[in-house]
Amino acid sequence: MLMGLFNHWVVIALMMIGLYIVIAHGNLIKKIVGLTLFQTSVFIFYISMAKVNGGTAPILADDITQYSNPLPHVLILTAIVVGIATTALALSLVVRIKETYGSIEEENIQHQDNQSLEQSNSKKASTAPKDSKQENQA
Amino acid sequence: MDIVINISSGLCLFVGSFLCLCGGVGMLRFPDFYTRMHAAGVTDTLGSAMILIGLMIISTGFLVFIKLVMILLLGILIGPTTSHVLAKAALHNGLEPLLGHQEEADNKETTSSNP
Amino acid sequence: MINIVILTLLVVIAIAIIRMKDLFAVVMLLGIYGLLSASFFVAMDAVDVAFTEAAVGAGISTLLMLVVISMTGRREITTRHKPLSALLVVAITGFLLIYGTLDMPYFGAADAPIHGHVAPRYINDSMQEIGVPNIVTSVLASYRAFDTFGEVVVIFTAGIGVLALLSVARRPEDPEQITVINDSMHKQHLVIRIVVKILIPFILLFALYVQFHGDFGPGGGFQAGVIFAAAIILYTMLFGLSTARTVINQSFIRLTAAIGVLVYGSVGLATLLSGGNFFDYDVLVNDPIAGQHLGILFIELGVGCTVAAVMIIIFFSFAARREIQLNNKNKESSSC
């Protein structure tokens, strides 16, 4: 059973490593790397499911009787190129975040967001009593 | 004739794999960036060339042979260029090579690369 | 067996990626991970997929991440707290998934459910119905053409997204200044510029070969587009962004990306107007097999155009943004 299911267990290990990197690391680029790891492990899962013992690549030739399943190949081929396009979009978001916040560590970004939230709250609190005074005068 | 072809191809493949292994061991054991790059260059150029020549000897058709020749030419062109660019980038950014003389090695210990 | 060795190496690399703090080394390891996955795909007889993964995962992906790291910083700041809850979540999910795989069919079994239903029809009938030896191309371009249309539109949308986020309005540059910059850098990059000048025509030719040979061997529009973009990106990296902009017109590239999607869609429209279903190539010309060949040719062309153009757009946007950032930093440091 170990030999039969080895591929699947390694894929699960790679998936969990990718998930751990996304959850536990604060650097945004490290998170994107973890996401790429996760994505490629799913590709490995599909392709290892498509393999047939004794089969060859699904290109028709006269002297071959057994072919590997071509359907997962098709799905993963487009998935790889779509994956790089979405990774490029994520990286451009990271570039914009770095320009706005000055850092790509999640803690720094959260800290700056909380600070700006507190500042906007204190501004609202300081303008609210002025409005009530004007209402009392009017 | 068949056995000559098989043996020569096997010999080329064996030499090529041995050279790639040497390159790997060299990467781990050499003391300096530039010497390590030489080890990687051996893998790139001579190791892959021997493996490709071994495959060319037992290639099954003319088209396969030509494709392998083209891969070999490409590898021979790109391998040394890559090593050159790496070395140039390292030297340009201030990485000094580790030289052999004793007093110069002592002077350079403060500025040379760390493994 | 070879897949055990490759998979074990992949796990080792993944664990090394967790432990590294230097993002440059992490990106290099990710490139090695992509290349090892490509070798694994070859061992699994998935030659088309291996081709794409080698070009995309080990090539373009590493390059884009390196460009972004040069803009955002190279080291990762270590977190102070121990991520025990993350480890717990990951362990529980992992155990549940392993429990889920216990009754899956074994690796390589020929009687697994996945090999029934549609796959034997594709393998057996592909030669009579479509006449293309590469079954992956026939499934991608004819049987599942609608899926591929969606994928091409997704790639085009990602290109538009990157343009929306990163494009900068710039002044047209002085051509004399461009040649001055180019000549001053020429001596520094002499060897690699000469070698690349020899190589780029062959890379472009290879991209065209892969595009049109996709019917008979591994290849097709996706791989060809990525290889074409890689040649253009190589030229841009070595000769400077300004020179590349005069060689490759930006608006032409954007137009090409849109035209690729339009060609793909108009083939479907042509089949509708000729009386068949959407993407049913049999009705394009009198002979169904010739119609299939014509239809596959046109949509692979559309895919190749869009993928190449979008990859070039993405790289040019990142490089332009980086140039603006470096110019701003130089201005600040010279004014201070």
Which chains contact A through at least 3 pairs of Cβ atoms less than 8 Å apart? C
Is there a contact between B87 and B37 (Cβ–Cβ < 8 Å)? Answer: yes
Task: Tell me the Cα Rg of chain B.
Answer: 19
Q: pLDDT (tens digit, 9 = 90+) per residue, B56-102?
A: 999 888 999 999 999 999 999 999 999 999 888 888 888 887 777 65
What does the pLDDT read at residue C286?
Answer: 86
Q: How far is A113 from chain C (nearest CA, A)?
A: 19
Q: Are C157 and C25 part of one and the same domain?
A: no
CA nearest C36: which of C66, C8, C64?
Answer: C8
Residue A90 structural domain: 1-50+68-105
Q: How far apart are the first and last CA of chain C?
A: 62
Q: What angle do CA B55, B60, B64 make, to 5 degrees?
A: 70
Residues C92 and C198 in one domain: no
Please give the mean pLDDT across all residues of chain A.
87
Whether residue C293 sits in one domain with residue C228: yes
Q: Is residue B73 part of a domain?
A: yes
Residues C98 and C175 in one domain: no
In a domain, residue A78? The reply is: yes
> Which 8-state DSSP code applies to residue C22?
B
Range A62-87 average pLDDT? 89
The sign of the CA dihedral A109, A110, A112, A117 is positive
Residue C75: strand pairing partners: C22
Coil, helix or strand at residue C208: helix
Residue of C179 and A42 predicted with greater confidence: A42
Pair of tokens at residue C333: 């440091």
Query: Same domain for C250 and C286?
Result: yes
In a domain, C328, yes or no: yes
Residue C142: closest C-alpha in chain A: A74
Q: Which chains touch C (3 or more CB pairs under 8 A)?
A: A, B
Substitution target from C191, C203, C213, C216 for chain B, most B beta carbons within 10 A = C191
pLDDT number for residue A55: 84
Residue C240 domain flag: yes
Nearest Cα of chain A lies from the Cα of C272 at a distance, in angstroms, of: 25
Q: Tell me the average pLDDT across A55-82.
A: 88
CATH number at A13 reads 1.10.287.3510
Q: Cβ–Cβ of C162/A88 closer than 8 Å?
A: yes
Are C100 and C193 in a shared domain? no
Which of residues C221 and B108 earns the better pLDDT score? C221
In sequence order, the β-bridge partners of residue C89 are none
What is the C-alpha to C-alpha distance for residues C51 and C34, in angstroms, rounded to an integer?
Answer: 11
The interface predicted TM-score (ipTM) is 0.90
pLDDT of residue C155: 93
- Going by C-beta distance under 8 Å and a sequence separation of 6 or more, which residues neighbour residue C21? C75, C76, C78
- Same domain (yes/no): C197, C264: yes
pLDDT at C175: 73
Express each pLDDT in C154-197 by its tens digit. Answer: 999 999 999 999 888 776 667 777 777 777 777 778 888 999 99
Asked if C191 and B84 come within 8 Å (Cβ–Cβ), the reply is yes
Instruction: Give yes or no: residues C164 and C260 share one domain.
Output: yes
Q: Answer whether C37's CB lies under 8 Å from A44's CB.
A: yes
- B84 at C interface, C-beta within 8 A: yes
Structural domain contains residue C305: yes
Question: Which pLDDT does position B98 carry in this prediction?
Answer: 76
Q: How confident is the model at residue A108 (pLDDT cuts 50, 70, 90)?
A: confident
Q: Work out the percent of chain C whose per-residue pLDDT is above 70.
A: 98
- The answer to the question of residue C123 being in a domain is no
Name the interface residues of C facing B (CB cutoff 8 Å).
Answer: 188, 191-192, 195, 198-199, 202
CA atoms within 13 A on the CB side of C58: 16
Q: Which domain holds residue B91?
A: 2-106
Widest distance between CA atoms in chain B: 61
CA angle C276–C277–C279, rounded 5-degree value: 105
User: Which chains sit next to B, with 3 or more Cβ pairs under 8 A?
Assistant: C
Residue with tokens 């790496």: B86
Asked whether the predicted pLDDT for residue C208 surpasses 90, the reply is yes
**Interchain proximity C44–A3, CB inside 8 Å:** no
pLDDT of A132 higher than 60 = no
What residues of chain B lie within 8 A of the CB of C195, using their CB? 77-78, 81
Give the whole-angstrom CA distance, residue C276 versus residue C290.
15
Residues C327 and C240 in one domain: yes
- The 10s digit of each residue's pLDDT in C22-60 is 999 999 999 999 999 999 999 988 999 999 999 999 889
pLDDT for res C287: 87
Instruction: Give the per-residue pLDDT at B107.
Output: 59
Domain presence at residue C224? yes
Q: How far is C108 from chain A (nearest CA, A)?
A: 4
Query: Tokens 């169904």 identify what position?
Result: C288
Amino acid in position C190: L
| For range B9-34, the mean pLDDT | 92
Q: Report if residue B111 sits inside a domain.
A: no
Where helices occur in chain C by DSSP H, the ranges are 2-19, 23-43, 47-55, 61-72, 84-100, 118-129, 135-138, 145-166, 175-186, 190-212, 221-239, 241-247, 250-273, 288-335
> Contacts of residue B78 in chain C, CB cutoff 8 Å?
195, 199
Concatenate the DSSP letters of all residues of B32-65 into one string. Answer: SHHHHHHHHHHIIIIIHHHHHHHHHHT-SSHHHH
Beta carbons of C234 and C200 less than 8 angstroms apart: yes
Average pLDDT over residues A55-83: 88
Average pLDDT over residues C57-84: 84
pLDDT at A135: 55
pLDDT classification of C307: cutoffs 50, 70, 90: very high
pLDDT at B16: 94
Of all residues in chain C, the one with the smallest CA distance to B82 is C192
Residues C32 and C150 in one domain: no
pLDDT at B17 over 90: yes
> Does the CB of C148 have a partner CB in chain A at under 8 Å?
yes
Asked if C59 and C150 sit in the same domain, the reply is no
Q: What is the dihedral of CA C305, C306, C308, C311, to 10 degrees?
A: 170
Is C97 within the bounds of a domain?
yes
Q: Taking 70 as the threshold, does the pLDDT of residue B112 lie above it?
A: no
Total domains in chain B come to 1
| B88: chain C residues, CB-CB within 8 Å | 191
C185 in the same domain as C103:
no
Band (C211; pLDDT cuts 50, 70, 90)? very high
Tokens standing for residue C71: 């803009």
- Partners of residue A98 in chain C, C-beta under 8 Å: 71-73
pTM for this model (two decimals): 0.89
Domain enclosing residue C22, as ranges: 1-109
Is the Cβ of C210 closer than 8 Å to some Cβ of chain A? no
Nearest CA-CA distance, residue A120 and chain C, Å: 26
pLDDT of residue C203: 94
Tell me which residue of A77, A66, A20 sits closest to C79, measured CA to CA. A20
Alpha-carbon distance A85 to nearest alpha carbon in chain C (angstroms): 6
Chain A touched by C34 (CB under 8 Å) = yes
Supply the pLDDT for residue C7.
92
Chain A nearest CA to C280, separation (Å): 19
Write the pLDDT tens digit of every residue in C142-156: 899 999 999 999 999
Please count the structural domains in chain A.
Answer: 1
Q: What's phi and psi for C75, nearest 5 deg?
A: -110, 150
Give B-chain residues touching C198 at CB under 8 angstroms. Answer: 77
